[in-house]
Amino acid sequence: MSPLLDTLLQAALAAGAVILHHYEAGTPATAKADGSPVTEADREAEAVILAALRRFDPAIPVVAEEEAEAGRLPTAESTRFFLVDPLDGTREFVGRNGDFTVNIALIEDGVPVAGIVFAPVCGRLFLGEAGRAFETAVEGGHAGPLHPIAVRTAPARPVAVASRSHPTPETSAWLASHAITQTVSRGSSLKFCLLAAGEADVYPRLGRTMEWDTAAGDAVLRAAGGRVVTLDGAPLRYGKRRQLDEADYANPHFLAFGDPAGERWLAPTPASAAAV
């Protein structure tokens, strides 16, 4: 394992331990300015991750969800920076269904080149960089052996993954227009990881996300051989600031898939075109 991935692994494990402590204690949530929930687990896990990344290389800027919410963003823009969501899926955390993750990614020139996604409750941890992706089981706060993962060839009846907490009519219309009848609803970045591990095939996201929501899962999926593209087929990019009609670091709608032949799902149909 590279020093970078080892740093991300140790940071994610430490953050996961903080989150599990609050999960077991039943930490309450408050509302942010945009109405989304936040807890002390989010804040404390983010502090743990930020400290670990500073120890690794204090020169690499970090864009983290709770820091961004507080208006604390890097003053100078950089083509190389970390993106952090300390607790992706706070609604799942509050709802106590276990579908939440720790997300950390490294971005270079708009591309997520390394990332880690850790689901503390189920103990699944995914990481990847440089065309290599792995999964490991975490027990008692310790990661086991790494097992390589890769996307699969889409079967005749592909399986889609969709957001558990943020379903949209547009997503339902897209699935219907592409005759996809098998859908698994999951929270957080686990949707990307199911594609990376060959357990599902396509993830249409026709709803709002932020870069820290997607970067780590995107990195793992790309390392496993998959792709994440906007609806016009261009790779989803990171570091989007000064957008005309959106906030800094907001994503457009996108499509993630494992099988390279998944580009066929970009072909417009009357129903999907109307929905988008």
Q: Phi and psi (nearest 5°) for 242?
A: 55, 45
Element counts in the chain: helices (H) and strands (E): 8, 17
| Closest-CA residue to 191 (of 103, 272, 69) | 103
Does 245 appear as a known binding residue?
Answer: no
Does 57 appear as a known binding residue?
Answer: no
CA–CA gap between residue 194 and residue 135 (Å, rounded): 11
Task: Locate 86 and state its tokens.
Answer: 């300390």
Does 88 appear as a known binding residue?
Answer: yes
Question: CB of 275 within 8 A of CB of 177?
Answer: yes
Question: CB of 60 within 8 A of CB of 72?
Answer: no
How many other CB atoms are there within 10 angstroms of residue 199's CB atom?
A: 16
How many other CB atoms are there within 10 angstroms of residue 182's CB atom?
A: 13
Does 44 appear as a known binding residue?
Answer: no
Does 209 appear as a known binding residue?
Answer: no
Question: CB of 100 within 8 A of CB of 86?
Answer: no
CA–CA gap between residue 129 and residue 151 (Å, rounded): 15
Alpha-carbon dihedral sign for residues 152, 199, 203, 80: negative
Q: Phi and psi (nearest 5°) for 88?
A: -80, 115
Binding positions for substrate: 65, 87-90, 213
> Which residues sit in the known binding site for Mg(2+)?
65, 85, 87-88, 213
Which residues are part of a known binding site? 65, 85, 87-90, 213
